Amino acid sequence: MKTIVATGALAAALAGWALPAQAQTPSLLDPVLHGQLERWLGAGELQLDNIYTRQTGHFATDFHAAADGKGDTFTLMQVSDDQGGSWLVGGYNPVSWSTTDGWHIAASQWERTAFIFNYTDPQVLRPVPVTHSLPSQGAKLTYNWPDHGPTFGQGPDLFVSEDLSSTLSWQLTYGDPALQGRSLIDGTYGGQLRRIDALEVYSVAVIPEPHTWAMLAGGLGVVGWAARRRKAQGAARS
């Protein structure tokens, strides 16, 4: 089983890519994509707040300074090749990013809620299930280290270089094990480097349903009434 490690020859190759400036507007996230992310996640209506937008001169440490410890997130990337191809890809991370954790491992099926996606050529790749002949293949969901941007899977299935300028995709942890080595980005094999033209990270919060708000308000009302009653009883006894 092949595993690409983003060091050595790969690091040298990545060093030759120039980082393009990212425009402030428009955002990669529009209402249509927002709705699609809600459907893919399946947790209901979401509030997505931009917590990081790559700027010229940024490195992985800038991403981590903004995104670490912020809970679950969506990463969005506009990616292109030298032939004019362009794709919007990304991933959902259910656990906070970190610079010290290394691999975030999900040994159980219920923990494997992360996924990566291609919005341009629609597809979603979820972790290889524990029922696979090699259950551990889908366990390494994200890699968390100072010299990596947001990186998903052991392939790496979706990797971001230290200078946030380049990505590659080599399917291993996510998707169909029969397609091991295939790129989420453009379907090629062999871990082809692609240019990152824009990169954004969004925090994820589920918006409660109206009846949930009503129950919460009712509960707070009962608590407030009980507190006032205790206060009145205490005043009467004194």
In a domain, 81, yes or no: yes
Do residue 77 and residue 90 come from a single domain? yes
In a domain, 136, yes or no: yes
Do residue 178 and residue 114 come from a single domain? yes
In a domain, 1, yes or no: no
Do residue 184 and residue 235 come from a single domain? no
Bridging pattern class, strands 140-144 and 73-80: unpaired
Do residue 137 and residue 55 come from a single domain? yes
Do residue 120 and residue 15 come from a single domain? yes
Q: What is the span of the domain harbouring residue 229?
A: 211-238
Do residue 151 and residue 236 come from a single domain? no
CA distances from 162 to 1, 73, 99, 131 (A): 25, 19, 12, 34
Do residue 97 and residue 169 come from a single domain? yes
pLDDT at 1: 38
Do residue 200 and residue 215 come from a single domain? no
In a domain, 110, yes or no: yes
pLDDT at 161: 98
In a domain, 30, yes or no: yes
In a domain, 229, yes or no: yes
pLDDT at 12: 42
Do residue 93 and residue 19 come from a single domain? yes
How far is Cα of residue 138 from the mean position of the Cα atoms in its chain? 16
CA distances from 210 to 31, 213, 215, 216 (A): 21, 5, 9, 10
Give the single-character DSSP code of 129: P
pLDDT at 5: 45
In a domain, 2, yes or no: no
Rounded CA gap, 138 and 220, in Å?
Answer: 43
In a domain, 32, yes or no: yes
Q: Are the C-beta atoms of 76 and 122 separated by less than 8 Å?
A: no
The model's pTM: 0.82
Q: List the pLDDT tens digit at each of the 238 positions of the chain.
A: 344 444 444 544 554 555 554 544 579 999 999 999 999 999 999 999 999 999 999 999 999 999 999 999 999 999 999 999 999 999 999 999 999 999 999 999 999 999 999 999 999 999 999 999 999 999 999 999 999 999 999 999 999 999 999 999 999 999 999 999 999 999 999 999 999 999 999 999 999 977 544 444 455 454 454 555 565 555 555 5
pLDDT at 209: 76
pLDDT at 8: 40
Do residue 118 and residue 216 come from a single domain? no
Do residue 35 and residue 67 come from a single domain? yes
User: SS3 string of 216-237?
Assistant: HHHHHHHHHHHHHHHHHHHHHH
Q: Please tell me the total count of domains within the chain.
A: 2
Do residue 216 and residue 173 come from a single domain? no
Q: What are the residues facing 35 on neighbouring strands?
A: none
